Amino acid sequence: MGIRDLFKKRSQDEVFGTKILVAALNRKFAELASADARCYSQFYSTLAETIFENSEDLLKTIGTGYDVVHLLCDVTPDGNIIDSRGSKTPATLLIRACSNSDVKLLWIASENKPEGYIKGFKPSGKPLNLVLTIDRKNSRFRGFLENLLRKVYRQEKQYPSHGFP
């Protein structure tokens, strides 16, 4: 099983015109969010890049319909996401918002400790692909993301009925 197999879609989940949200819950992630958004923009035209001041606005925006949510945020050891004001929101609410809005992939792209992911990111609702980043490996992350998106994009072009992710 290769990485492309992880992103293959079942026929009932076909996606056309993939909508991507690259978001940050703190301005300290602005540079990383912009770099990641540039990677996505090479392959996908329907892209929104936003820095949110609070979790409520993030959750509302997710509700407007995205296929991929690529989020940079801090995760506490007890499994909460923290916004720029220091307010904590249970990660389960983020997962629920993504599931309810038919998000196909939620990628927490900032570096966080595994224990916060283990405690907070529990599946609920509809199926959701989840990527949780522990270490971005500095400049190597951008190359990794570009390569991954290039492969997924080629797969979409070759087999358009599969969609992303």
Domain membership of residue 6 (yes or no) is no
Helix (H, G, I), strand (E, B) or coil at 36: helix
How large is the angle between the packed helices 30-41 and 140-158, nearest 10 degrees?
30
Q: 70 forms bridges with which residues in the sheet?
A: 22, 107
Q: Are 52 and 83 in contact (CB under 8 A)?
A: yes
Its domain, for residue 52, covers: 18-141
pLDDT at site 157: 66
Q: Are 65 and 19 in contact (CB under 8 A)?
A: yes
The mean of the pLDDT values for the chain is 86
Task: Name the more confident of 15 and 134.
Answer: 134
Q: Are 37 and 31 in contact (CB under 8 A)?
A: no
Domain membership of residue 162 (yes or no) is no
Q: Mean of the pLDDT values across residues 15-22?
A: 81
Give the CA diameter of the chain.
Answer: 45
Residue 14: pLDDT band (50, 70, 90) is very low
Q: What is the DSSP letter of 126?
A: S
Is the N-terminal amide bond of 165 cis, ω within 30° of 0? yes
pLDDT at site 38: 95
Number of domains in the chain: 1
Q: Mean of the pLDDT values across residues 127-141?
A: 91
pLDDT at site 122: 84
Domain membership of residue 163 (yes or no) is no
Domain membership of residue 5 (yes or no) is no
The CATH number of the domain holding residue 93 is: 3.40.50
Q: 88 forms bridges with which residues in the sheet?
A: 82
Mean pLDDT lowest among 32-41, 61-70, 106-115, 117-126: 117-126
Q: Which two tokens stand for residue 111?
A: 């570096």
Domain membership of residue 3 (yes or no) is no
Domain membership of residue 117 (yes or no) is yes
Q: Beta strands 68-72 and 74-75: pairing type?
A: unpaired
Domain membership of residue 60 (yes or no) is yes
pLDDT digit string, tens, across residues 59-98: 999 999 999 999 999 999 999 999 999 999 999 999 999 9
Q: Which two tokens stand for residue 125?
A: 């609702």
Domain membership of residue 115 (yes or no) is yes
